[in-house]
Chains A and B, each alone.
Chain A
């Protein structure tokens, strides 16, 4: 059953990515933040598709379930491009972005292959346990990638405030997602964990929208001053 809360969340979760894309286009920053714009546009398309499937086949239909989890997995993979985009920006000055590209292509190919094999092996009996496992694995890879990005930002003394906040919000999102999926495997009866993913997606978009609005590209901060744990 789709509740009023779900409708409000869907509206908020669609409005924020639309705002991000429009804002980036108006400020001519689409090429700089192309991965974020593409992810946001894809999130809007996924929301519209999900709503259409719910109207046609119903909320409890297998079509809805398939679309929900496949679109979620695809969006998680698209977020890897966002992390890779940040890494590319970070290593641009050092002239080593070619290694990021090669590493990114290898990582994405491996993830796509493993995910395809997992989904192919379960296509006839796509159990809820399987989709939760897939979601957990994809998001955990996101955690590791974002953690590497954060470590690289600290190591290179990155000062771009915008990039820092966008990356940290992404880290919070991936970690919370991986945790909620991980806990769902051991506690499938906890209903709160099922409502967390859409809340987290909405939060990520609002947080990004907020960063783009409040922080100009020129804003700077010392990354080492904000790090929770650091080595000297």
Chain B
């Protein structure tokens, strides 16, 4: 009984810490304002980027010169996005809030990818 409790508690705490860790990265990036050139290159209309744009923005990132200082963040956010999508897909049929949450968090991930692209474009044009 106790080992099962320890496992469940550890698993629940892991979700809490992992989500919070990824959010702490996303929140840091959320303060950045995107430049007009990045909005134009990425074909984005406003600062509110839909979750579905994440994959496309990651694709664009591959074409930009890699400064190498955001790889760890990118990996963490990519993993977080997969987890968010999975939770959204599993929870959406039962709880409508799950879909909204997944869309909001996915949007944050997409914004993070746009900021990473912005930094790379700025490094090239500087």
Contacts and interface: CB of A to CB of B under 8 A. Distances in A.
B32 interface: no
A144 B72 CA distance: 27
Interface in B1-59: 3, 6-7, 9-11, 13-21, 23-25, 27-28
B72 A206 contact: yes
Contacts of B18: 172, 228
B17 A175 contact: yes
Nearest to A219: B28
B17 A171 contact: yes
A14 interface: no
A178 B6 contact: yes
B68 to A, nearest CB: 12
Given A168-B21, A207-B72, A143 B13 contact: yes
A185 interface: yes
A114 interface: no
A136 interface: yes
Main secondary structure of the interface of A (DSSP, over half): helix
Which bucket holds chain B's interface residue count?
20 to 34
Nearest to A169: B21
A228 B7 contact: no
Contacts of A168: 17, 20-21, 24
Given A143-B10, A169-B21, A182-B6, A228 B15 contact: yes
A201 interface: no
A183 B7 contact: yes
Contacts of B9: 140, 143-144
B12 to A, nearest CB: 9
Contact of A210 (B14, B15, B17, B72): B72
Contacts of B25: 165
Interface of A: 136, 140, 143-144, 146-147, 150, 161, 164-165, 168-169, 171-172, 175-176, 178-179, 182-183, 185-186, 206-207, 210, 214-215, 219, 221-222, 225-229
Interface of B: 3, 6-7, 9-11, 13-21, 23-25, 27-28, 69, 72
13 contacts: A140-B10, A146-B17, A165-B21, A165-B25, A168-B17, A171-B13, A175-B10, A175-B14, A179-B7, A185-B3, A221-B27, A227-B16, A228-B23
Report, nearest first, the 9 A-B pairs whose CB atoms are least far apart: A171-B17, A228-B19, A175-B14, A226-B23, A168-B21, A178-B10, A182-B7, A226-B24, A228-B16
